[in-house]
Amino acid sequence: MYFIRHGLQDLLKYGTITLYLLNGMLYDDPKILFPFLPLALTLTADMLKELSGFKDKKVLIGFVIVSAIAFLASGMNFLMGVYLCDAVIVTVTIYVFIRTHKRAFIALFFAVPLFSCLFACNYDELMTRKSYETANSQTVSRMISELPADTIFRTAVDTERLQTVNKIYSPNHYSDTLYSSLHSQDYNSFYFNEMYNENEYRNSALTARSKNIFFNSYMGNRYLITKNPVTYFGHEVLKSDSGFYL
């Protein structure tokens, strides 16, 4: 039991390290595993296909024994409680399927994953409706589309700094903000080490809207759109519409 318990703990620990490495050593967010979903679905499909001819109850007994040992070795906690529910449902489903061979019972395999996803999404911290409407404002899009197209210039949008970092409102909208795990190290170094822009976020890969007037001038930000009627040196309010100022 001691070796099983510590083996499971090491598995979780090294799993976290793997997530950290796959995310470019930025964080241990499991979203990096999304590209592996087709592989998981392929394995699931193979399992369901083989299950149609499944008749050996010894495999079912082995699954129950392994699940019981893992549960007893790890002790009761929330994750093991979910695993126990999943193991019970899978065991009952396999047994009923062996006895009846009705494919409808296969849907029970996905009961726990489905409810887990629903509860996880319910407690996830989502973007507020107000922030979403501000970031996707049609007023901002219209303001940018009405700007002169005689030459190439940038337009700084300072409405939702974090939510609009990769937002492009129209074909003639050029921006100097960027957030991507695969970003230019030269531009990132220029942004922080040469222009000395402020960094209010923990992730240095995020080059958000800067209030540095020298940087904005150097990058050719001719226009500025804000939610507040602020003015900077050399700027004047040209237009206001629905709470946005150009």
124/36 Cα distance (integer angstroms): 22
Residue-level pLDDT, tens digit, the chain, 246 residues? 444 444 445 445 556 788 888 877 777 778 888 888 898 888 878 877 777 666 666 666 776 777 777 666 666 677 777 777 777 777 787 777 777 777 777 777 777 778 878 877 777 777 888 999 999 999 999 999 999 888 899 999 999 888 899 999 988 899 999 998 778 889 999 999 999 998 888 788 889 989 888 999 899 999 999 998 877 777 889 999 999 999
Report d(CA 33, CA 23) in Å as an integer.
10
Reported for 140-143, long-range contacts at CB under 8 A and 24+ positions apart, including other chains, are 140/169, 140/225, 140/244, 141/169, 141/170, 142/241, 143/225, 143/239, 143/241, 143/244, 143/246
Percent residues over pLDDT 90 in the chain:
26
Buried b (16+ CB within 10 A) or exposed e, 91-128: eebbeebeeeeeeebeeebeebeeeeeeeeeeeeeeee
Summarize pLDDT for 50-106 with one digit per residue, the tens: 776 666 666 667 767 777 776 666 666 777 777 777 777 777 877 777 777 777 777
Extents of the domains making up the chain: 2-123, 130-245
